[in-house]
Amino acid sequence: MAACLCLGPTGSGKTLLLKRLQSTSVNEGTSTVETVGSNIIRVPKKPVAEGSGATSSSSRGGEDKDFLSIQEIGGAMAPLWPSYFAPDKLIMYVIDSSNLFQVSISTVLLMELLSHEKLVGAKVLILLTKMDLTNRKNLNYLKFMMRLDTILAQSGRRVSLLEVSATTGDGLEDVRRWLLLNWPRVKKAANTIKAAARSDNG
């Protein structure tokens, strides 16, 4: 199972965002199809252009030293998201900044995951994507529409927020930096949980 889950309503932009993090040479014409089920994308720790050869695996003992495995779970699978939850996960939560029709579902799904008992220790990054579109709403507007400040304050969590565009690539290196910054902590938490489980079993 991947250490990071990428969640968000259907069509919010998860697949394109992950493809773009995987390869900087994904261009504006790249199309996606609805993710039915889930999808694991290996994101390089350093940005690479397709064809550079740097996307090949350098796996050692099942551990990838150059890549971060991120699992997208399609928006259509939202009722099943909790079966993928665990306290040691990183969560990327994607919101389409251009789609006001999705504001309510984005809010409800976010509230559900922030309050989920299996995600108590999880680190969360909220991504407002499609910022390249002229009808996109900015962070302050969406904060107001979604009552985001209140939701985050009530959740008692420190949640990071970033504005990005998978089409232009704007903000994506900040996403990679957030992943790299938080990845070791996740590993440490996972190891602590495993060690505790081992000592419980004798």
Ligand X SMILES: Nc1nc2c(ncn2[C@@H]2O[C@H](COP(=O)(O)OP(=O)(O)OP(=O)(O)O)[C@@H](O)[C@H]2O)c(=O)[nH]1
Mark the binding-site residues for Mg(2+), compressed into ranges: 15, 35
> How far is it, in rounded angstroms, from Cα 143 to Cα 137?
10
- Hey, which residues between 143 and 182 contact ligand X (CB under 6 A)? 165-167
**Partner whose binding site includes residue 106, from Mg ion, ligand X, none (CB under 5 to 8 Å by kind):** none
Q: How far is the CB of 6 from ligand X (least distance, A)?
A: 8
DSSP 93: E
> How far is it, in rounded angstroms, from Cα 159 to Cα 131?
20
The binder of ligand X chosen from 93, 130, 172, 189 (CB under 6 A): 130
Q: Please report whether residue 165 would count as binding Mg ion according to CB under 5 A.
A: no
91: closest CA among 112, 105, 61?
112
**Partner whose binding site includes residue 54, from ligand X, Mg ion, none (CB under 5 to 8 Å by kind):** none
Q: Please report whether residue 75 would count as binding ligand X according to CB under 6 A.
A: yes
- Hey, which residues between 76 and 115 contact ligand X (CB under 6 A)? 76, 94
Tokens representing residue 2 in the block: 């991947």
The binder of Mg ion chosen from 5, 8, 12, 15 (CB under 5 A): 15
Residue with the two structure tokens 């150059």: 66
Q: How far is the CB of 102 from ligand X (least distance, A)?
A: 10
Q: What's the sign of the alpha-carbon dihedral 126, 129, 131, 137?
A: negative
- DSSP letter string over 137-185? --HHHHHHHHTHHHHHHHHT--EEEEE--TTT-TTHHHHHHHHHHHHHH
Mask for 26-65, x = binds Mg ion (CB under 5 A): ---------x------------------------------
The binder of ligand X chosen from 74, 88, 123, 127 (CB under 6 A): 74
CB 199 within 8 A of CB 191: no
The binder of ligand X chosen from 1, 25, 34, 100 (CB under 6 A): 34
Q: Please report whether residue 15 would count as binding ligand X according to CB under 6 A.
A: yes
